[in-house]
Structure 1
């Protein structure tokens, strides 16, 4: 919020985050880690529980021949997919630029080069629904890690989990209306408090929805907006550059 006039100036800016919107898509929420500092949150946001807890799984092979590496990786991933059929609460997906897509077969399974020569890897995502009002996610994490450990790699293929858990959310844009309502409520409160001598100029509310994982369970949704409070007697406001 910014006050213009009568010598009173204040500014309000909101952090930017990751993501774009696309209905019915599932977006992965990446935690933001800031060493030695607290992560600030937007002034107005909507907090909701994530839909799925997810962990990364890497299936890798270092056999000398590429065709053999691919066969070993595909056979191992096929075993993971077959095992997932026995679980109602665990599924296997792939992460493509932050979007989570279910993996149904190894046909055209994307492989990438490993950190060592003559190594190929398949990057998978294991996910499980997050129960409502959960207080401890460790049992969910352990269940996903145990699932990955039950499959033995074919030939020289290995199956390993990587990093810590995070969350994903389905169709984050469904919360846009609620976020806008919260913004308008804040603007209305400010206007009411200041009285008839001031008015509000709101901008940025047409921007894209953004979101951030807060604790591997909950996600905050927000729009990076700002508003300017000016005296009603002021008829011209120059934009900031």
Structure 2
């Protein structure tokens, strides 16, 4: 498995309209997929301020593809969904969770797994779909441990007919409710601005802008993210 990650490529994971509650702004306890940066996802400039909060992501996330080529269409689709149902039943034993979403992550459960959209797999009489397998990052769970855990789980999922389940792409990350870190980020900005203004003497202060924007993010390492506000400050005479 190639664990290379790209800071400059935000490749969204494809899902269908049944999971269409995808929000541009993170709110509440929503879980956000991080493969590049929010600015790249929203088609903004990729400039990131120097003041960031670096922390371990909440989950390591692997996109998974399930495909089948049984000749009869109804049977083929039933085999794909049956294999996904088997994965849902097995997930808890391997410390992984199943989810769906290209931006906002939502649980994949027995109540909604048949809403996963199927599409042609590039050949006649084939179908495929994708979902996410994730495992929580915690002390002692590095990128290799997380990937090994996910790989063991995928190998344990029983095949159904001609359906096959494979990893798709590289390991990515997710963060739950990025906006909860606003106070910490603002604290870092305030401390840096105060220290910078002090170097100019007591007659100087700062003007800070961008603190009213949502928290943004970028990937920092295999298991870490940068969280930041798109802020800027200017040192000015107090008069």
Fold-level similarity (TM above 0.5): yes
Query: What's the CA shift for 1:75?
Result: 0.9
Q: 2:103 aligns with which of 98, 102, 106?
A: 98
* Superposition CA RMSD, Å: 2.6
Query: Counterpart of 2:159?
Result: 153
Aligned counterparts of 1:107 and 1:52: Cα–Cα separation in 2: 24
Alpha-carbon distance in 1 for matches of 2:140, 2:193? 31
Structure 1 residue 115 displacement after superposition? 3.7
- 1:228 corresponds to which residue? 234
- Give the deviation of 1:221 after TM superposition: 0.6
| Greater Cα shift, 117-126 or 74-83 | 117-126
- The answer (yes or no) to whether the contact 2:49–2:231 under 8 Å persists in 1 is no
- Is the contact made by 1:84 and 1:92 (CA closer than 8 Å) also made in structure 2? yes
Q: Of the two, which has the highest radius of gyration?
A: 1
CA 1:83–1:177 in 2, change beyond 3 Å: closer, same or farther? same
Structure 1 residue 189, shift from structure 2 partner: 1.1
CA distance in 2 between counterparts of 1:133 and 1:196 reads 47
- For residue 124 of structure 1, report the CA deviation from its aligned partner: 1.4
TM-score normalized by structure 1?
Answer: 0.77
> Structure 1 regions of 5+ residues with no counterpart?
1-14, 33-38, 234-241
Instruction: Assess, with a 3 A threshold, how the Cα gap between structure 1 residues 150 and 187 changes in structure 2: closer, same or farther.
Output: same
Q: 1: CA distance between counterparts of 2:58 and 2:238? A: 45
Q: State the partner residue of 1:162.
A: 168
2:130 matches 1:120: no
The DSSP-based 3-state class of the residue aligned with 1:215 is coil
Match of 1:187 in 2: 193
Q: Where does structure 2 lack aligned partners over 5 or more consecutive residues? A: 1-7, 13-23, 38-45
Q: Give secondary structure in 2 for the equivalent of 1:112.
A: coil
* Correspondence for 2:41: none
Bigger helix fraction: 2
- Supply the distance in 2 between the matched residues of 1:122 and 1:100 (Cα, whole angstroms): 16
Structure 1 pair 113–208 and aligned structure 2 pair: CA distance change class (3 A) = farther
